Amino acid sequence: MTKTPNPPMIRKTLRISIIEGIFAQVYGTLSAIGSSFITKLLIMLQATPMHFSLLSAIGQISAVFQPIGIALTYKLSHRKRACIAVSAVGRFLTFFLGLSFRFVLPEQGIWFVLILLFFSATLSSIGGNIWIAWISNIVPLNFRGRFFAKRNQYLLIAGLLAGYIVSFTVGLFDIELKGLQLLFMNATGLRHLFQPEKQGLFISWVFVVATALSLLGLFILSKQPEKPAIIRTESLRQIYLKPFKDKNFRKLLLYGVWWMLSIGIGSAFWGPFMLQKLNMTLFDMQIYGSIHVFASLMSFKFWGRFIDFNGNKTAMKICIIISGINPLLWLFMTADHHAVIWVEALISGFMWAGAGIVSTNFVLSIAPKNHEQVYSGIYGAFSGFGMMFTTLLTGILFPKSITIGGLFLEPEQVIFGIGGVLRWTTLIPLAFVVEAKSKSLKSVGMNLRDTLTRLLRNIKIKDR
Protein backbone atom coordinates (compact mmCIF):
# COMPACT_ATOMS: atom_id res chain seq x y z
CA MET A 1 0.00 0.00 0.00
CA THR A 2 1.51 3.36 -1.07
CA LYS A 3 1.84 6.25 1.33
CA THR A 4 0.42 9.69 0.70
CA PRO A 5 3.09 11.89 -0.90
CA ASN A 6 4.76 14.09 1.66
CA PRO A 7 4.40 17.90 1.36
CA PRO A 8 8.16 18.57 0.88
CA MET A 9 8.17 16.27 -2.14
CA ILE A 10 5.10 18.01 -3.59
CA ARG A 11 6.66 21.45 -3.05
CA LYS A 12 9.89 20.37 -4.74
CA THR A 13 7.94 18.78 -7.58
CA LEU A 14 5.96 21.96 -8.12
CA ARG A 15 9.09 24.15 -8.02
CA ILE A 16 11.07 22.06 -10.52
CA SER A 17 7.98 21.48 -12.65
CA ILE A 18 7.52 25.24 -12.96
CA ILE A 19 11.19 25.92 -13.81
CA GLU A 20 11.34 23.13 -16.41
CA GLY A 21 7.91 24.08 -17.67
CA ILE A 22 9.11 27.64 -18.37
CA PHE A 23 11.80 26.30 -20.71
CA ALA A 24 9.28 23.96 -22.33
CA GLN A 25 6.76 26.79 -22.75
CA VAL A 26 9.32 29.08 -24.42
CA TYR A 27 10.19 26.20 -26.72
CA GLY A 28 6.53 25.58 -27.54
CA THR A 29 5.88 29.28 -28.15
CA LEU A 30 8.72 29.44 -30.67
CA SER A 31 9.07 26.01 -32.26
CA ALA A 32 6.09 23.72 -31.66
CA ILE A 33 2.88 23.18 -33.58
CA GLY A 34 0.56 26.08 -32.83
CA SER A 35 3.44 28.57 -32.70
CA SER A 36 2.89 31.76 -34.71
CA PHE A 37 6.50 31.40 -35.85
CA ILE A 38 5.73 28.03 -37.44
CA THR A 39 2.77 29.73 -39.13
CA LYS A 40 5.06 32.53 -40.33
CA LEU A 41 7.54 29.95 -41.62
CA LEU A 42 4.87 28.19 -43.67
CA ILE A 43 3.49 31.45 -45.03
CA MET A 44 7.00 32.36 -46.20
CA LEU A 45 7.12 28.95 -47.91
CA GLN A 46 3.78 29.74 -49.61
CA ALA A 47 1.69 27.15 -47.77
CA THR A 48 -1.95 26.60 -48.79
CA PRO A 49 -5.02 26.14 -46.52
CA MET A 50 -4.61 22.39 -46.95
CA HIS A 51 -1.04 22.60 -45.61
CA PHE A 52 -2.28 24.49 -42.54
CA SER A 53 -4.96 21.84 -42.01
CA LEU A 54 -2.29 19.15 -42.14
CA LEU A 55 -0.17 21.11 -39.65
CA SER A 56 -3.02 21.32 -37.17
CA ALA A 57 -3.96 17.68 -37.77
CA ILE A 58 -0.38 16.59 -37.05
CA GLY A 59 -0.63 18.21 -33.64
CA GLN A 60 -3.66 16.05 -32.90
CA ILE A 61 -2.74 12.76 -34.55
CA SER A 62 0.46 12.78 -32.49
CA ALA A 63 -1.77 12.24 -29.45
CA VAL A 64 -2.83 8.90 -30.92
CA PHE A 65 0.62 7.59 -30.04
CA GLN A 66 0.34 8.42 -26.32
CA PRO A 67 -0.40 4.81 -25.35
CA ILE A 68 3.10 3.88 -26.52
CA GLY A 69 4.28 5.57 -23.33
CA ILE A 70 2.49 2.85 -21.37
CA ALA A 71 4.24 0.10 -23.34
CA LEU A 72 7.61 1.70 -22.61
CA THR A 73 7.09 2.03 -18.86
CA TYR A 74 4.56 -0.50 -17.54
CA LYS A 75 7.36 -2.80 -16.34
CA LEU A 76 9.49 0.05 -14.93
CA SER A 77 9.48 1.14 -11.32
CA HIS A 78 10.99 4.51 -12.36
CA ARG A 79 9.76 6.49 -15.36
CA LYS A 80 12.04 9.54 -15.24
CA ARG A 81 14.76 8.30 -17.60
CA ALA A 82 12.27 7.12 -20.25
CA CYS A 83 10.33 10.39 -20.10
CA ILE A 84 13.42 12.55 -20.56
CA ALA A 85 14.96 10.38 -23.30
CA VAL A 86 11.84 10.29 -25.48
CA SER A 87 11.13 13.99 -24.98
CA ALA A 88 14.74 14.95 -25.77
CA VAL A 89 14.68 13.21 -29.17
CA GLY A 90 11.34 14.81 -30.03
CA ARG A 91 12.51 18.29 -29.16
CA PHE A 92 15.88 17.93 -30.87
CA LEU A 93 14.20 17.41 -34.26
CA THR A 94 12.98 21.02 -34.40
CA PHE A 95 16.61 22.12 -34.43
CA PHE A 96 16.51 21.47 -38.19
CA LEU A 97 13.34 23.39 -39.13
CA GLY A 98 15.33 26.22 -40.70
CA LEU A 99 16.69 23.85 -43.34
CA SER A 100 13.30 24.13 -45.05
CA PHE A 101 14.53 27.35 -46.67
CA ARG A 102 17.33 25.42 -48.39
CA PHE A 103 15.04 23.39 -50.64
CA VAL A 104 14.82 24.43 -54.29
CA LEU A 105 11.02 24.14 -54.40
CA PRO A 106 9.02 25.78 -51.55
CA GLU A 107 6.60 22.85 -51.44
CA GLN A 108 9.48 20.51 -50.67
CA GLY A 109 10.38 22.74 -47.74
CA ILE A 110 6.76 22.66 -46.54
CA TRP A 111 6.68 18.86 -46.54
CA PHE A 112 10.04 18.76 -44.78
CA VAL A 113 8.58 20.97 -42.00
CA LEU A 114 5.40 18.89 -41.71
CA ILE A 115 7.27 15.56 -41.54
CA LEU A 116 9.76 16.91 -39.00
CA LEU A 117 6.95 18.29 -36.82
CA PHE A 118 5.02 15.02 -37.06
CA PHE A 119 7.87 13.00 -35.54
CA SER A 120 8.69 15.75 -33.04
CA ALA A 121 5.07 16.06 -31.85
CA THR A 122 4.63 12.28 -31.69
CA LEU A 123 7.67 11.75 -29.47
CA SER A 124 6.71 14.74 -27.31
CA SER A 125 3.23 13.28 -26.91
CA ILE A 126 4.64 9.94 -25.75
CA GLY A 127 6.93 11.75 -23.32
CA GLY A 128 4.00 13.79 -22.05
CA ASN A 129 2.03 10.64 -21.29
CA ILE A 130 4.91 9.28 -19.22
CA TRP A 131 5.20 12.65 -17.43
CA ILE A 132 1.50 12.51 -16.49
CA ALA A 133 2.03 9.14 -14.79
CA TRP A 134 5.13 10.47 -13.03
CA ILE A 135 3.30 13.56 -11.73
CA SER A 136 0.04 11.86 -10.77
CA ASN A 137 2.02 9.43 -8.62
CA ILE A 138 3.31 12.37 -6.55
CA VAL A 139 0.52 14.97 -6.53
CA PRO A 140 -2.72 13.87 -4.78
CA LEU A 141 -6.05 14.21 -6.59
CA ASN A 142 -7.47 16.87 -4.26
CA PHE A 143 -4.54 19.20 -5.05
CA ARG A 144 -4.07 18.64 -8.78
CA GLY A 145 -6.38 21.43 -9.91
CA ARG A 146 -4.38 24.01 -7.96
CA PHE A 147 -1.08 22.34 -8.92
CA PHE A 148 -1.72 22.66 -12.66
CA ALA A 149 -3.27 26.12 -12.25
CA LYS A 150 -0.23 27.52 -10.44
CA ARG A 151 2.18 25.87 -12.87
CA ASN A 152 0.28 27.20 -15.88
CA GLN A 153 0.41 30.76 -14.53
CA TYR A 154 4.20 30.88 -14.67
CA LEU A 155 4.35 29.07 -17.99
CA LEU A 156 2.00 31.50 -19.71
CA ILE A 157 4.01 34.51 -18.55
CA ALA A 158 7.23 32.94 -19.86
CA GLY A 159 5.68 32.09 -23.21
CA LEU A 160 4.22 35.57 -23.50
CA LEU A 161 7.53 37.33 -22.87
CA ALA A 162 9.41 35.09 -25.28
CA GLY A 163 6.77 35.57 -27.94
CA TYR A 164 6.83 39.36 -27.56
CA ILE A 165 10.59 39.67 -27.81
CA VAL A 166 11.00 37.37 -30.79
CA SER A 167 7.91 38.51 -32.73
CA PHE A 168 8.97 42.15 -32.34
CA THR A 169 12.41 41.28 -33.69
CA VAL A 170 11.03 39.18 -36.57
CA GLY A 171 8.79 42.11 -37.52
CA LEU A 172 11.83 44.38 -37.93
CA PHE A 173 12.71 42.42 -41.08
CA ASP A 174 9.40 43.28 -42.81
CA ILE A 175 9.57 45.52 -45.87
CA GLU A 176 6.94 47.93 -44.56
CA LEU A 177 7.33 48.78 -40.88
CA LYS A 178 4.66 50.33 -38.70
CA GLY A 179 3.88 51.08 -35.09
CA LEU A 180 6.52 50.40 -32.46
CA GLN A 181 8.82 48.66 -34.93
CA LEU A 182 8.95 51.78 -37.12
CA LEU A 183 9.64 53.95 -34.05
CA PHE A 184 12.40 51.58 -32.94
CA MET A 185 14.06 51.61 -36.34
CA ASN A 186 13.89 55.40 -36.64
CA ALA A 187 15.33 55.82 -33.14
CA THR A 188 18.18 53.33 -33.52
CA GLY A 189 19.06 53.59 -37.21
CA LEU A 190 19.65 49.83 -37.38
CA ARG A 191 17.76 49.15 -40.60
CA HIS A 192 20.91 47.82 -42.23
CA LEU A 193 20.95 44.93 -39.75
CA PHE A 194 17.35 43.92 -40.52
CA GLN A 195 17.23 43.46 -44.27
CA PRO A 196 14.04 41.61 -45.41
CA GLU A 197 16.04 38.92 -47.22
CA LYS A 198 17.59 37.91 -43.87
CA GLN A 199 14.26 37.21 -42.14
CA GLY A 200 14.36 33.50 -43.00
CA LEU A 201 17.85 33.12 -41.54
CA PHE A 202 16.77 34.82 -38.30
CA ILE A 203 13.71 32.57 -37.96
CA SER A 204 15.97 29.55 -38.53
CA TRP A 205 18.14 30.64 -35.59
CA VAL A 206 15.00 31.12 -33.46
CA PHE A 207 14.28 27.40 -33.86
CA VAL A 208 17.87 26.50 -33.01
CA VAL A 209 17.91 28.56 -29.80
CA ALA A 210 14.44 27.36 -28.76
CA THR A 211 15.53 23.74 -29.16
CA ALA A 212 18.66 24.31 -27.07
CA LEU A 213 16.58 25.91 -24.29
CA SER A 214 14.15 23.00 -24.31
CA LEU A 215 16.98 20.49 -23.83
CA LEU A 216 18.30 22.56 -20.93
CA GLY A 217 14.80 22.33 -19.45
CA LEU A 218 14.93 18.55 -19.64
CA PHE A 219 18.20 18.58 -17.69
CA ILE A 220 16.36 20.53 -14.96
CA LEU A 221 13.48 18.04 -15.14
CA SER A 222 15.95 15.25 -14.34
CA LYS A 223 16.26 16.79 -10.84
CA GLN A 224 12.55 16.37 -10.13
CA PRO A 225 11.64 13.79 -7.44
CA GLU A 226 10.12 10.46 -8.40
CA LYS A 227 8.15 7.93 -6.40
CA PRO A 228 8.70 4.29 -7.37
CA ALA A 229 5.75 3.07 -9.41
CA ILE A 230 3.98 -0.20 -8.74
CA ILE A 231 5.23 -2.89 -11.15
CA ARG A 232 2.24 -4.15 -13.14
CA THR A 233 1.53 -7.88 -13.14
CA GLU A 234 -1.08 -7.77 -15.92
CA SER A 235 -0.18 -8.22 -19.54
CA LEU A 236 0.08 -5.14 -21.75
CA ARG A 237 -3.12 -6.22 -23.51
CA GLN A 238 -5.01 -6.34 -20.21
CA ILE A 239 -3.70 -2.90 -19.27
CA TYR A 240 -4.87 -1.39 -22.56
CA LEU A 241 -8.31 -3.06 -22.37
CA LYS A 242 -9.06 -2.08 -18.76
CA PRO A 243 -10.30 1.48 -19.51
CA PHE A 244 -12.73 0.19 -22.15
CA LYS A 245 -14.39 -2.06 -19.55
CA ASP A 246 -15.14 1.04 -17.46
CA LYS A 247 -18.60 2.29 -18.47
CA ASN A 248 -18.00 5.77 -17.08
CA PHE A 249 -14.72 6.06 -18.95
CA ARG A 250 -16.49 5.16 -22.19
CA LYS A 251 -18.86 8.06 -21.53
CA LEU A 252 -15.90 10.36 -20.88
CA LEU A 253 -14.31 9.12 -24.11
CA LEU A 254 -17.45 10.00 -26.08
CA TYR A 255 -17.47 13.48 -24.55
CA GLY A 256 -13.73 13.94 -25.24
CA VAL A 257 -14.00 12.92 -28.89
CA TRP A 258 -17.12 15.06 -29.38
CA TRP A 259 -15.41 18.11 -27.83
CA MET A 260 -12.27 17.69 -29.91
CA LEU A 261 -14.32 17.19 -33.08
CA SER A 262 -16.00 20.52 -32.44
CA ILE A 263 -12.88 22.55 -31.65
CA GLY A 264 -11.04 20.94 -34.57
CA ILE A 265 -13.33 22.83 -36.93
CA GLY A 266 -11.34 25.89 -37.90
CA SER A 267 -8.40 25.13 -35.60
CA ALA A 268 -5.94 25.39 -38.49
CA PHE A 269 -7.02 28.85 -39.59
CA TRP A 270 -7.00 31.24 -36.63
CA GLY A 271 -3.38 32.31 -37.11
CA PRO A 272 -3.40 32.45 -40.93
CA PHE A 273 -6.69 34.39 -40.84
CA MET A 274 -5.11 37.00 -38.55
CA LEU A 275 -2.05 37.38 -40.74
CA GLN A 276 -3.64 37.12 -44.18
CA LYS A 277 -7.23 38.40 -43.88
CA LEU A 278 -7.07 40.83 -40.94
CA ASN A 279 -3.62 42.07 -42.03
CA MET A 280 -2.25 41.69 -38.50
CA THR A 281 1.49 41.41 -37.88
CA LEU A 282 3.20 38.85 -35.64
CA PHE A 283 3.52 41.62 -33.06
CA ASP A 284 -0.24 42.30 -33.31
CA MET A 285 -0.79 38.61 -32.71
CA GLN A 286 1.39 38.83 -29.61
CA ILE A 287 -0.79 41.68 -28.30
CA TYR A 288 -3.81 39.47 -28.85
CA GLY A 289 -1.95 36.67 -27.07
CA SER A 290 -1.08 39.02 -24.22
CA ILE A 291 -4.70 39.88 -23.57
CA HIS A 292 -5.55 36.18 -23.79
CA VAL A 293 -2.76 35.32 -21.34
CA PHE A 294 -3.70 38.15 -18.97
CA ALA A 295 -7.26 36.84 -18.79
CA SER A 296 -5.95 33.32 -18.21
CA LEU A 297 -3.54 34.41 -15.48
CA MET A 298 -6.26 36.30 -13.67
CA SER A 299 -8.55 33.27 -13.77
CA PHE A 300 -6.20 30.33 -13.10
CA LYS A 301 -6.52 30.63 -9.34
CA PHE A 302 -10.30 30.80 -9.66
CA TRP A 303 -10.46 27.76 -11.92
CA GLY A 304 -8.04 25.73 -9.80
CA ARG A 305 -10.10 26.22 -6.63
CA PHE A 306 -13.38 25.90 -8.51
CA ILE A 307 -12.36 22.54 -10.00
CA ASP A 308 -11.00 21.16 -6.71
CA PHE A 309 -14.23 22.04 -4.88
CA ASN A 310 -16.93 21.72 -7.58
CA GLY A 311 -15.51 19.22 -10.03
CA ASN A 312 -14.16 19.13 -13.57
CA LYS A 313 -17.54 18.38 -15.10
CA THR A 314 -19.15 21.50 -13.66
CA ALA A 315 -16.25 23.68 -14.75
CA MET A 316 -16.37 22.24 -18.26
CA LYS A 317 -20.07 23.01 -18.61
CA ILE A 318 -19.28 26.68 -18.04
CA CYS A 319 -16.35 26.54 -20.48
CA ILE A 320 -18.46 24.93 -23.22
CA ILE A 321 -21.17 27.56 -22.91
CA ILE A 322 -18.59 30.33 -23.26
CA SER A 323 -16.61 28.52 -25.98
CA GLY A 324 -19.47 28.69 -28.46
CA ILE A 325 -19.54 32.48 -28.23
CA ASN A 326 -15.87 33.05 -29.15
CA PRO A 327 -15.92 31.86 -32.80
CA LEU A 328 -19.16 33.75 -33.49
CA LEU A 329 -17.45 37.05 -32.65
CA TRP A 330 -14.97 36.40 -35.49
CA LEU A 331 -17.82 36.59 -38.02
CA PHE A 332 -17.92 40.37 -37.66
CA MET A 333 -14.21 41.04 -38.14
CA THR A 334 -12.61 42.60 -41.23
CA ALA A 335 -9.16 44.01 -41.97
CA ASP A 336 -10.49 47.52 -41.26
CA HIS A 337 -12.75 46.68 -38.33
CA HIS A 338 -11.58 44.01 -35.92
CA ALA A 339 -11.44 45.81 -32.56
CA VAL A 340 -13.81 43.16 -31.16
CA ILE A 341 -10.89 40.73 -31.33
CA TRP A 342 -9.49 42.22 -28.11
CA VAL A 343 -12.77 41.50 -26.28
CA GLU A 344 -12.75 37.99 -27.71
CA ALA A 345 -9.20 37.53 -26.38
CA LEU A 346 -10.40 38.28 -22.84
CA ILE A 347 -13.33 35.86 -23.06
CA SER A 348 -11.19 33.21 -24.75
CA GLY A 349 -8.39 33.54 -22.19
CA PHE A 350 -10.80 33.03 -19.30
CA MET A 351 -12.47 30.04 -20.95
CA TRP A 352 -9.32 28.22 -22.09
CA ALA A 353 -7.70 28.62 -18.67
CA GLY A 354 -10.47 26.46 -17.25
CA ALA A 355 -10.70 24.09 -20.21
CA GLY A 356 -6.93 23.60 -20.16
CA ILE A 357 -6.90 22.45 -16.54
CA VAL A 358 -9.91 20.21 -17.14
CA SER A 359 -8.30 18.60 -20.19
CA THR A 360 -5.47 17.30 -17.99
CA ASN A 361 -7.34 16.75 -14.76
CA PHE A 362 -10.74 15.30 -15.77
CA VAL A 363 -9.50 11.88 -16.87
CA LEU A 364 -7.19 11.70 -13.83
CA SER A 365 -10.17 12.29 -11.51
CA ILE A 366 -12.05 9.38 -13.06
CA ALA A 367 -9.17 6.92 -13.45
CA PRO A 368 -8.64 4.37 -10.64
CA LYS A 369 -5.50 4.82 -8.56
CA ASN A 370 -2.34 3.56 -10.34
CA HIS A 371 -4.18 3.45 -13.69
CA GLU A 372 -3.93 7.16 -14.51
CA GLN A 373 -1.36 6.72 -17.27
CA VAL A 374 -3.31 4.24 -19.37
CA TYR A 375 -6.59 6.12 -18.91
CA SER A 376 -4.88 9.37 -19.88
CA GLY A 377 -3.13 7.79 -22.86
CA ILE A 378 -6.25 6.17 -24.30
CA TYR A 379 -8.26 9.34 -23.74
CA GLY A 380 -5.62 11.49 -25.42
CA ALA A 381 -5.36 9.11 -28.38
CA PHE A 382 -9.07 9.02 -29.13
CA SER A 383 -9.74 12.71 -28.55
CA GLY A 384 -6.69 13.63 -30.63
CA PHE A 385 -7.99 11.51 -33.49
CA GLY A 386 -11.31 13.34 -33.26
CA MET A 387 -9.73 16.76 -33.64
CA MET A 388 -7.48 15.51 -36.43
CA PHE A 389 -10.52 14.31 -38.38
CA THR A 390 -12.37 17.65 -38.44
CA THR A 391 -9.15 19.62 -38.91
CA LEU A 392 -8.39 17.68 -42.09
CA LEU A 393 -12.02 17.76 -43.18
CA THR A 394 -12.17 21.55 -43.05
CA GLY A 395 -9.01 21.70 -45.16
CA ILE A 396 -10.42 19.29 -47.75
CA LEU A 397 -13.88 20.88 -47.80
CA PHE A 398 -12.58 24.45 -47.55
CA PRO A 399 -15.67 26.54 -48.43
CA LYS A 400 -16.08 29.61 -50.57
CA SER A 401 -16.89 33.05 -49.21
CA ILE A 402 -20.59 33.79 -48.79
CA THR A 403 -22.85 36.75 -47.98
CA ILE A 404 -25.66 36.33 -45.43
CA GLY A 405 -28.07 39.23 -44.98
CA GLY A 406 -25.48 41.73 -46.14
CA LEU A 407 -22.75 40.22 -43.97
CA PHE A 408 -19.79 39.08 -46.11
CA LEU A 409 -18.02 36.05 -44.67
CA GLU A 410 -14.58 34.85 -45.68
CA PRO A 411 -14.21 31.03 -46.05
CA GLU A 412 -12.48 30.86 -42.64
CA GLN A 413 -15.37 32.75 -41.02
CA VAL A 414 -17.88 30.26 -42.41
CA ILE A 415 -15.87 27.51 -40.72
CA PHE A 416 -15.58 29.47 -37.46
CA GLY A 417 -19.35 29.95 -37.30
CA ILE A 418 -20.09 26.26 -37.82
CA GLY A 419 -17.53 25.31 -35.18
CA GLY A 420 -18.96 27.74 -32.64
CA VAL A 421 -22.44 26.23 -32.85
CA LEU A 422 -21.16 22.65 -32.69
CA ARG A 423 -19.15 23.39 -29.53
CA TRP A 424 -22.39 23.90 -27.62
CA THR A 425 -23.59 20.40 -28.55
CA THR A 426 -20.75 18.93 -26.42
CA LEU A 427 -22.98 19.52 -23.38
CA ILE A 428 -24.99 16.48 -24.50
CA PRO A 429 -22.35 13.74 -23.95
CA LEU A 430 -20.86 15.60 -20.97
CA ALA A 431 -24.18 15.28 -19.13
CA PHE A 432 -23.79 11.48 -18.95
CA VAL A 433 -20.27 11.45 -17.44
CA VAL A 434 -20.22 10.70 -13.70
CA GLU A 435 -17.71 12.49 -11.49
CA ALA A 436 -17.98 11.78 -7.76
CA LYS A 437 -17.22 15.29 -6.50
CA SER A 438 -18.99 17.16 -9.31
CA LYS A 439 -21.74 19.58 -8.28
CA SER A 440 -24.59 20.75 -10.45
CA LEU A 441 -24.55 24.21 -12.00
CA LYS A 442 -27.78 24.91 -10.13
CA SER A 443 -26.19 24.22 -6.73
CA VAL A 444 -23.10 26.26 -7.67
CA GLY A 445 -25.39 29.11 -8.73
CA MET A 446 -27.33 28.92 -5.47
CA ASN A 447 -24.10 28.98 -3.45
CA LEU A 448 -22.92 31.99 -5.42
CA ARG A 449 -26.24 33.73 -4.84
CA ASP A 450 -26.10 33.02 -1.11
CA THR A 451 -22.52 34.31 -0.95
CA LEU A 452 -23.46 37.54 -2.74
CA THR A 453 -26.52 37.95 -0.51
CA ARG A 454 -24.39 37.62 2.64
CA LEU A 455 -21.85 40.05 1.20
CA LEU A 456 -24.50 42.65 0.40
CA ARG A 457 -26.09 42.18 3.82
CA ASN A 458 -22.74 42.78 5.53
CA ILE A 459 -22.21 45.91 3.45
CA LYS A 460 -25.62 47.29 4.49
CA ILE A 461 -24.92 46.55 8.16
CA LYS A 462 -21.59 48.38 7.95
CA ASP A 463 -23.29 51.37 6.25
CA ARG A 464 -25.75 51.61 9.15
> Domain segments of the chain: what residues?
7-463
Statement: 7-463 belongs to CATH 1.10.3720.10? no
State the SS3 of the chain: CCCCCCHHHHHHHHHHHHHHHHHHHHHHHHHCCCCHHHHHHHHHCCCCHHHHHHHHHHHHHHHHHCCHHHHHHCCCCCCHHHHHHHHHHHHHHHHHHHHHHHCCCHHHHHHHHHHHHHHHHHHHHHHHHHHHHHHHCCCCHHHHHHHHHHHHHHHHHHHHHHHHHHHHHHHCCCCCCCHHHHHHHHHHCCHHHCCHHHHHHHHHHHHHHHHHHHHHHHHHHCCCCCCCCCCCCCCHHHHHHHHHHCHHHHHHHHHHHHHHHHHHCCCCCHHHHHHHCCCCCHHHHHHHHHHHHHHHHHHHHHHHHHHHHHCHHHHHHHHHHHHCHHHHHHHHCCCCCCCHHHHHHHHHHHHHHHHHHHHHHHHHHHCCCCCHHHHHHHHHHHHHHHHHHHHHHHHHCCCCCEEECCEEECHHHHHHHHHHHHHHCCHHHHCCCCCCCCCCHHHHHHHHHHHHHHHHHHHHHHHC
Residue 452 is predicted with a pLDDT of 63
Q: Please check the confidence at residue 63 and state whether its pLDDT lies above 80.
A: no
pLDDT band per the 50, 70, 90 thresholds, residue 3: very low
Residue 223 has pLDDT above 60, yes or no: yes
Q: Could you read off the pLDDT of 366-411 as tens digits, one per residue?
A: 888 778 878 888 888 888 888 888 888 887 888 888 888 888 999 9
Q: Which residue has the higher pLDDT, 90 or 285?
A: 90
Mean pLDDT of 443-460: 67
Query: pLDDT at position 226, please?
Result: 80
Q: Tens digits of per-residue pLDDT, 233-292?
A: 788 888 888 899 999 999 999 999 999 999 888 887 888 889 888 988 877 887 888 898
pLDDT in tens, 112-154: 999 999 999 999 989 988 887 787 777 776 777 778 778 887 8
Q: Quick one: pLDDT at residue 309?
A: 83
For residue 119, give Cα distances in angstroms to 63, 87, 278. Answer: 11, 11, 32
Average pLDDT over residues 432-442: 84
Exposure string of 198-211, with b = 16+ CB inside 10 Å and e = fewer, is ebbeebbebbeebb
